[in-house]
Structure 1
Amino acid sequence: MVEELLWSLRSACPIPPRLSPYAEGVQDWLLERLPRLGLPLGAEALHRLDRAGFARYAGRLYPDASEPDLRTVAALFTWFFLVDDACDGPDRLPSEQIRALRRGTLTLLHDGPRRRHPGFGGPLRRLLVEAWRAPRRRMPARWRLRFADAVGDHLDGNWREAVAKESGRPPGVDEYVALRRATSAAYVSYPLIEFVGGRVLPDAVYHHPLLRRIGALGNDLLSWYNDLASMERDRVTSGGHNLVLALAAERNVPVAEAVELVAERWRDTMGHFQAQCRAVPSFGPALDGPVATHLDGVANAVRGTIDWTLESARYPLHPHP
């Protein structure tokens, strides 16, 4: 039932799909590069990474990126997914280690690779050092701060989720939605639109209330779609951290009914997302182009997540008949 619903929502999505022509080549580059950084990846692990298709995911979100920039973004995506597995997998890190990982990551992003932190080392650090090299060299200080703030918020969300799981306390719906916006890493993906596009929006525009609202709606859309796809796995491992499970518990309804409630909520939010995008005002001739690129990037994050979810072996769904 859930799989058919996912395909139905994809068909109803008004955002057109896009994919970089460099995606497959960057995927090959990624699989060749990762073992050189010391990541413990045997043949089976590399096969899983290949079938997960993180470079293809990056290629769906940033279809106009140059090949070198897509390599950078794909490496960053891989880092975030490896961190996600460490924080949320069956052998997940305890909350204090996640907090130390956050501190070490922010030390690297703020101060550069020469500054070290005891909570963050090894191959995972080497991967981030390599992936961060081009953005750190090319992008202005205000963008680097913007990106680091988003990463800090994401890792703080992972820590808060780990604390809740350790306490055995499932979240309510409103609490979960707010936390999910951090754990999804969508807010990390938005500054990368500027990295691949080569134009940084002024802070007053990037943080404009309407653009922030559109970013939150896009985050919800991709997060809730992901929750539907991962719901069966999350019933075992998430401690209630899934919108379907949170709704089922809060409203005291069967999970099957909660699935339909999430789908209805997703459709309503998509309509609101489209309306809000149409309502964005002009910021002047010099900024309207970059703002349009930003909005397209948020939309690509939604549609790219949908398409990648249905094709990636990370979510073993059956092909649509």
Structure 2
Amino acid sequence: MTEAVLWSLRAHCAIPPRLSPYADDVQEWLVDQFTHLGLPLEAAARDRLARAGFARYAGRLYPDATEPDLRVLAALFTWFFLIDDACDGPGRLTPGQIRALRDGALALLREGPRWRHPGFSGPLRRLLVQAWREPRRRMPARWRLRFADAVAHHLDGTWRESVAKAAGRAPGVAEYVELRRATSAAYVSYPLIEFATGRPLPDPVYHHPALRRIGDLGNDLLSWFNDIASLDRDRATAGGHNLVLAVAAERGVPIASAVEVVAERWRTEMTRFVALRAAVPSFGPALDESVTAHLDGVANAVRGTVDWTLESARYPVAPGS
């Protein structure tokens, strides 16, 4: 039932699909890095990482990135997905361990690779050190701070979700929507648009209300689509942290009805996303191309998540049309 809904939403998506010509080559490179960095070497775990296609996901969000930059982006995406698995999978990290991981990762991002934290070591640290090297070298300090702040927001959200799960407390719909904007890591992907395109935005423009509204809406669209795709898994493991489950509990309706409620909300917000994107004002000839690149990047994040979710082995969805 959810598979039909997912394919229906894809057909309703008004954003054209994009994919980097380097995506598959970078995916092969990425799989080789698993061994070099000491990431899971068991055949099943290695195969699962390879079939997830994280480089193709990065290639859908940043289709114009150079091949070297797409390697950086794919490595960063892999890091965030491995963190997600560590925090949300079987034998997941405790809230205290997540807090220590957050502190260690932020020390590395803000202070450099010489800074160490006892709660953040091993392959995950080595992967982030490698992936962060080029953005840290190339991007200005204000951008590095913006990226680190986005990572802090994401990991804080992951910690808050872990605390709620440990307490057995399921969120209401409004609370969940706000928390999901943190746990999705979409806000982390937005600064990377500037790294991939080479078109930086000054802080007042990046944080302009018009761009923030579109960023929030794009985050919701990709997060809610993912919630429908991961519903079967989340029913067993998420402790109510899924928009479909939150809607079902708050409204007292069956899961199937809640899926339709979320899908209709997604369609409505997609229409609003297109309208808001078209209504963004001019920021002047010196900035408009960079603003367009940012808005295109947010749109690519939505459409890229839709297409990658339907092709990735991470979310087994039956082929559709």
TM-score range, shorter chain: over 0.9
Alignment match, 1:179: 179
Per-residue deviation, 1:81: 0.2
**Equivalences for residues 193-272 of structure 1 within 5 A:** 193-272=193-272
Alignment match, 1:4: 4
Give the residue type in structure 1 aligned to 2:79: W
Per-residue deviation, 1:41: 2.0
Alignment match, 1:110: 110
Per-residue CA distance 1:54-107 (angstroms, 9 max, x = gap): 000000000000000000000000000000000011211000000000000000
Distance of 2:251 and 2:220 partners within structure 1: 20
Distance of 2:135 and 2:42 partners within structure 1: 30
Distance of 1:319 and 1:124 partners within structure 2: 33
Distance of 1:306 and 1:169 partners within structure 2: 29
Distance of 2:318 and 2:274 partners within structure 1: 29
Per-residue deviation, 1:184: 0.1
Give the residue type in structure 2 aligned to 1:116: R
- The secondary structure found in structure 2 opposite 1:17 is coil
Give the residue type in structure 1 aligned to 2:215: G
Alignment match, 1:169: 169
- 2:19 aligned with 1:13: no
Give the residue type in structure 1 aligned to 2:112: G
| Aligned partners of 2:199 and 2:293 also within 8 Å | no
Per-residue deviation, 1:15: 0.3
Per-residue deviation, 1:47: 1.3
Per-residue CA distance 1:170-227 (angstroms, 9 max, x = gap): 0000000000000000000000000011121000000001100100000000000000
Distance of 1:309 and 1:39 partners within structure 2: 23
Alignment match, 2:289: 289
Distance of 1:41 and 1:73 partners within structure 2: 22
Distance of 1:91 and 1:318 partners within structure 2: 28
- The secondary structure found in structure 2 opposite 1:93 is coil
Alignment match, 1:135: 135
| Aligned partners of 2:19 and 2:60 also within 8 Å | yes
Distance of 1:56 and 1:208 partners within structure 2: 30
Give the residue type in structure 2 aligned to 1:91: G
Distance of 2:228 and 2:25 partners within structure 1: 30
Give the residue type in structure 2 aligned to 1:45: A
Distance of 2:96 and 2:304 partners within structure 1: 33
- The secondary structure found in structure 2 opposite 1:286 is coil
Distance of 1:170 and 1:292 partners within structure 2: 39
Q: How many residues align?
A: 321
Distance of 2:168 and 2:68 partners within structure 1: 44
CA-based RMSD of the aligned residues comes to: 0.7
| Aligned partners of 2:146 and 2:191 also within 8 Å | yes
Query: Taking every aligned residue pair, what percent have the same amino acid on both sides?
Result: 75
Alignment match, 1:148: 148
Question: Structure 1 stretch 39-48 or stretch 278-287: which is displaced more?
Answer: 39-48
Alignment match, 1:96: 96
- The secondary structure found in structure 2 opposite 1:91 is coil
- The secondary structure found in structure 2 opposite 1:285 is coil
- The secondary structure found in structure 1 opposite 2:286 is helix
Q: Structure 2: state its 5+ residue gaps.
A: none
Distance of 2:137 and 2:301 partners within structure 1: 25
TM-score, length basis structure 1: 0.99
Per-residue deviation, 1:307: 0.2
Distance of 2:290 and 2:111 partners within structure 1: 29
